[in-house]
Structure 1
């Protein structure tokens, strides 16, 4: 650490840790440093900046207005430093750094756990993180650099803006019902029959929900979605208890235990896409795209 009075990366890491944990004690534990030393470095930085970054009380620690202004720039500086180290390592033949991947909960085009396992075996120096979220939020996080790549599930014709992307697969939805449901014995079902049922589905306005809503709207039908959930595990449990039925991609529904999948005539279609940054990927992200068989120049911006 430099001691010439100028801020350094380690001080920025301390500030970020305090902001994320809302505690000097927990921040010190995360950074493997005694609390007094961490507090001293934060105080030195505040003195240099001429502003308090945190409001401290006996009960809580929170960012000041100056701290909120400082944090994004500090994150960018730390990310740039990490990227510089990764680029130097890559030039010497070693892939290291961080890989942040996002995915919908119903991804089926890629065996994501297997892909991440293979990646970690090839590049053990890379720290991998995975975030499960809606397609809309995943695209936003790829666009602003919080994610290196994300697996999306969208309706046909949808193209995410501000990122590169590539279609991975598309397939029909099936009706997912409890084993004792009257539809469980059917070989197939049409939308008019399904419109008589109560549904468990994702949140209104989400890409996952839009695929089903648009199919019913195109057929001039309305359906009742009584239960809106954010995760497929809760959805499956509610269907098993007979509270409603669901529409899910056939490839994903096949792996749900204790439920029956029924093909739907003219049912919803789901397209899975991979999205990644339109800017030059980091060495770690480039290696992940290569593992998936995606070239950096593929996809549109």
Structure 2
């Protein structure tokens, strides 16, 4: 079993297509197919089901893939550690963030990081805080930027608190509240809301605030991005609450202070187990101590 074979398997699994996988791996399709077939003979099991219309993992392939990915990650980390020992940062830096992070200018930080460390392959993923935390624990991401309620802490990772912020109300320009300077949760509870999906960390901070005040509200529109939230609010389909530091980026909506608004905390987190030289270098670019606080 060779690392290149594992790379080919991973590429096919991610693209569901042998041609696209070969293009990604910069080889001809026949060579990629031959190596996967050779690996399947060695394993004594088919990894993919191939038809004229689709390619998908077999049960054996599903079982094989996580360990194959771990092997490739371990090989990449080993090469990065060896390079770091002689003063060179290589390997990969996989960063995750929520869309409303404001405590750090991520694009600017990534540009500076690439200037200092041009041999590191940088990837970026936007998602929900809970999912990003899971991916850091699993080693899929090296560093992630989260927004959590003040009552929550990321578990199983090292973290550093970046900033605290309060939520503000966002309404359409023609909404009756648009003429007000501030509002409270009791008044907002009479409105229809646009919010994140139930169960997410971003939704939890608002749900907890209304519950603590003994209030119920109707969330009719569940969306995953703040910009789409603003688009629905602009059409006067509902109101929303978003971080005050983020809303200046929005257009077409009116912002109000919320007198009893919930707060949120922005964190940067990284793995306590697979802490790579690239991750340490990126945290250094941000002037964040890589020791961090660890939470079980």
Q: Once the two structures are superposed, what CA deviation does each residue of 1:199-257 show, in whole Å capped at 9, x if it has no partner?
A: 11111121111111111111122222121111111110011111111101100012212
User: Where does the alignment leave 5 or more consecutive residues of structure 2 unmatched?
Assistant: none
The answer to whether structure 1 residue 167 and structure 2 residue 192 are counterparts is: no
1:295 corresponds in structure 2 to 289
Work out the CA distance in 1 between the residues paired with 2:42 and 2:134. 35
Work out the CA distance in 2 between the residues paired with 1:234 and 1:299. 34
Select which of 246, 251, 255 maps to 1:261: 255
The answer to whether structure 1 residue 104 and structure 2 residue 103 are counterparts is: no
Q: Once the two structures are superposed, what CA deviation does each residue of 1:245-296 show, in whole Å capped at 9, x if it has no partner?
A: 1101100012212221111101111111111111251111111111122222
1:272 corresponds in structure 2 to 266
1:150 corresponds in structure 2 to 144
124-133 or 50-59: which moved more? 50-59
SS of the aligned residue for 2:220 comes to strand
Residue 61 (structure 1) shift? 2.2
Residue 175 (structure 1) shift? 0.6
1:135 corresponds in structure 2 to 129
1:3 corresponds in structure 2 to none
60-69 or 201-210: which moved more? 60-69
1:206 corresponds in structure 2 to 200
Contact 2:160 2:269 in 1 (8 A): yes
Work out the CA distance in 1 between the residues paired with 2:261 and 2:96. 27
User: Where does the alignment leave 5 or more consecutive residues of structure 1 unmatched?
Assistant: 1-6
2:234 corresponds in structure 1 to 240
Give the number of aligned pairs. 295
Select which of 37, 44, 51 maps to 2:38: 44
Work out the CA distance in 1 between the residues paired with 2:245 and 2:208. 20
Residue 101 (structure 1) shift? 0.9
Contact 2:227 2:250 in 1 (8 A): no
1:70 corresponds in structure 2 to 64
TM-score, length of structure 2 as denominator length: 0.95
Residue 25 (structure 1) shift? 1.8
1:9 corresponds in structure 2 to 3
Residue 57 (structure 1) shift? 2.4
Work out the CA distance in 2 between the residues paired with 1:242 and 1:57. 48
160-169 or 37-46: which moved more? 37-46
SS of the aligned residue for 1:40 comes to helix
In structure 2, relative to structure 1, the CA distance for the partners of 1:75 and 1:280 (3 Å cut) is closer
Select which of 200, 210, 214 maps to 1:220: 214
Of the two, which has the highest radius of gyration? 1
Residue 70 (structure 1) shift? 2.0
Work out the CA distance in 2 between the residues paired with 1:221 and 1:23. 51
Work out the CA distance in 2 between the residues paired with 1:50 and 1:242. 60
Work out the CA distance in 2 between the residues paired with 1:288 and 1:23. 34
Residue 53 (structure 1) shift? 2.0
Work out the CA distance in 2 between the residues paired with 1:59 and 1:172. 50
Contact 2:139 2:274 in 1 (8 A): no
The answer to whether structure 1 residue 81 and structure 2 residue 75 are counterparts is: yes
